[in-house]
Structure 1
Amino acid sequence: MRARRLILKGKQRLLLTLAAAVTTLVARAQDGAAGIEEADSKVREYFEPGTNLMYAIGAVLGLVGAIKVFQKWNAGDQDTGKVAAAWFGSCIFLVVVATVLQSFFGI
């Protein structure tokens, strides 16, 4: 009989602890719309510097690619055109992605 009371008290304590945890979570929960608006403002805040960073990376890749292509051209390699197209394509890709993202998000 005494063991049964201890088990019931243990279950009651567990339920009371769970109820307190749920109450705390509900009290600390924030409004969903406010959270989405805050996330939107944070993304928009960092979007322009990120776009500028992509343009800068594209410029550095363009310079490195130009040097690589020039070296291959001076060495007389046959695949100079393929290398030039690959480097030029990667630079164009970065610029296009940055521009499309900028127009997509309307910033």
Structure 2
Amino acid sequence: MKKCNRTSWGKALKTIQLAIALIAISLTASAQNGNAGIEQANSQVRSYFESGCNLMYAIGAIVGLIGAVKVYQKWNSGDQDTSKVAAAWFGSCIFLVVVATIIKSFFGI
């Protein structure tokens, strides 16, 4: 085996320090690009909120129409559980509208 002298240890130490410095510089550059990416993702997600809330209103309208037809059919057939179906239908419509409104107010859109 070859003995290591002081100059070879000094060169190895300088190489390790250089490698650590390069890694630190690359991580700093990556973090800056990462922050820009996070900001871009934030702005894109916020731009989808309005469309998402409108989609929730549309789903609520469809669920409301389907529920209204179910309640009407049960009412005309004389079923005993008409009030339970009507309450479930009304509750689901209210839930979708409230969730969409809360999302808009919570995120300041």
Scaled by the length of structure 1, the TM-score of the pair is 0.72
Q: Hey, what does 2:60 align to over in structure 1? A: 58
Matched length:
105
Separation in 2, partners of 1:44, 1:60:
25
Q: Within 5 Å, which residues of 2 pair with 1:21-60?
A: 28-60=30-62
What is the letter of the counterpart of residue 68 of structure 2?
A
Q: Hey, what does 1:95 align to over in structure 2? A: 97
1:79 and 2:84 matched: no
96-105 vs 23-32, greater mean Cα deviation? 23-32
Stretches of structure 1 that go unaligned for 5 or more consecutive residues are 2-19
State the secondary structure of the residue aligned to 1:53. helix
State the secondary structure of the residue aligned to 1:90. helix
Deviation (angstroms), 1:95: 0.3
* RMSD between superposed Cα atoms in Å: 3.4
Separation in 2, partners of 1:26, 1:104:
33
Deviation (angstroms), 1:23: 8.0
What is the letter of the counterpart of residue 79 of structure 1?
D
Deviation (angstroms), 1:28: 4.9
Scaled by the length of structure 2, the TM-score of the pair is 0.71
**Identical pairs, percent:** 72
Question: Which structure has the larger Rg?
Answer: 2
Separation in 2, partners of 1:95, 1:59:
9
